[in-house]
Chains A and B, each alone.
Chain A
């Protein structure tokens, strides 16, 4: 069964290599959710994430010739989505979300134990970090990049990467405590 799926994916990728629109559509629909979940981690808004996903698939379809079939496709796609997210912010589509004070607080949740946090809760917490801190944290802790690779990706020094990571962790610790207190004082 797994083999059949792999064959399916190979066929789809072969179709994409020949620029067959039906194959591109299949690949897009198959990996859209995965790409969006990666983009959501690296962007602050869902609309940005959707833009990043579309930009990523443009790159996927134009660069599919460079994909090595011996490697998992998801890994290759993840790299593209991460790079596209970083490029997207570097291009700086300046978006400021100005919301009133009440909305700036962490949204109300039903009382939860910290271990019951959903992925969206965590993404929301991560969004409270400064952009650079968040990116360094995600690249290092979630995607396993080294500080050297992060420094290259984000065009910062390695020491800055380390500092950002430390600060991100500290801020997250505080955010988690605020979150925990808010929900348990209710």
Chain B
């Protein structure tokens, strides 16, 4: 019989059997298909929009780098003025400016709306320091063009006394401060880099995760700003399934994910101090997966016969054995996209390190809106983001 099984017979049998083979329609397949199509189009939209966002960010960054800031112009003007007046007295001009800035900032901040502390705040202060003593500088004014006038008058440098009367002293009010911000708003967007270690938790287990990337904070209104960026995340998600029996191990699912996160958060700066600022932030994240590795281990119990010879008789006994079955599954990059798949909540502390440099601590919580990635994982991420913005 075995010998009769020849290649041609096998081939004919296979062909014949497969010709008549027909699967049935699986209920819900069309609905899944429609959903997949939608996800695919969303993925395309996300890729395009993230591409545009990245290009914009790079564009803005390049513009900021290539544009000389107005501050330099004002400072130069003052340098020229003082040089004409008394060249010998300004050897330590820069030091004086720095000292005066430090002395004047607290006075200026009273009543300040304090949205963005930009270098523009210091421009006006340094601009006046060169012409007037610090004590008499801030008396009364309401003209937004004061700083310019000061500069232009002093530039003429004809008569010091005449110049003193012509120069309108400055007074910083909250409104002025807004103008200061406006004057300094040549650079509205603040960029940053961050790193976030954290914990990913499922219902049954938790594991370490980390992420990092670039951010952009765009002021939208008063104390509100829009925070976006591009984050790279590496997460390990472990969840234990139900146990097959009290003696057996629980089924386990492990997922290693690498993904890009495009957050869109609204930030409210609810308290601003001299050098510190506290804020709340909330929004959504869209995720595109670069790598998805899944490993599912399930256990089943089987009876195994064990034979032994006792006194010349064969005795067969049966043992229960846990048999592990592991399935590994790797999904290729960008196969899955979760548009607005996660909610972000964070509280932040911003510490000013230098006029242009800020350090942020942001404890965060990220909650999935629905199942994430290919296998609809539900996990919560939390941790602290360390960010440097400039």
Contact = CB atoms under 8 A, between A and B. Distances in A.
**Do the two chains bind?**
yes
A145 interface: no
Given A93-B331, A98-B328, A102-B323, A32 B10 contact: no
Interface stretch (B13-21, B95-103, B365-373): B13-21
Contacts of B326: 98-99
Contact of A37 (B21, B40, B327): B21
A142 B18 CA distance: 8
Interface string A45-87: 0000010011001100000000000000000000000000000
Nearest to A181: B2
Contacts of B329: 95
Contact of B5 (A25, A34, A118, A180): A180
A54 B20 contact: no
B23 to A, nearest CB: 4
B36 A54 contact: yes
Contacts of B13: 114-115, 117, 122
Contact of A33 (B17, B23, B328): B23
B328 A54 contact: no
Contact of B325 (A33, A93, A103): A103
B318 interface: no
A126 B15 CA distance: 12
Nearest to B40: A58
B221 interface: no
Contact of B37 (A58, A177, A180, A181): A58
Q: Give the interface SS of chain A, mostly helix, strand, loop or mixed.
A: helix
B325 A92 contact: no
B255 to A, nearest CB: 15
B327 A119 contact: no
B141 interface: no
Interface string A78-114: 0000000000000111111111101100000000001
B330 A36 contact: no
A165 B17 CA distance: 19
Contacts of B302: 102
Interface string B3-31: 00111001101110110111111100110
Interface string A8-37: 000000000000000001001100111011
Contacts of B17: 117-119, 122
A68 B168 CA distance: 85
Nearest to B328: A96
Interface string A153-174: 0000000000000000100110
Contacts of A173: 5-7, 10
B324 interface: yes
Interface string A121-142: 0110010000000000000011
Contacts of B32: 54
B22 A34 contact: yes
Nearest to B329: A95
A37 B330 contact: no
A79 to B, nearest CB: 16
Contacts of A57: 33
A98 B22 contact: no
A25 B30 contact: yes
B332 A91 contact: yes
14 contacts: A33-B24, A37-B18, A53-B29, A58-B37, A93-B335, A97-B328, A99-B325, A118-B17, A122-B14, A123-B18, A126-B14, A141-B11, A142-B14, A172-B10
Interface of A: 25, 28-29, 32-34, 36-37, 40-41, 50, 53-54, 57-58, 91-100, 102-103, 114-115, 117-119, 122-123, 126, 141-142, 169, 172-173, 176-177, 180-181
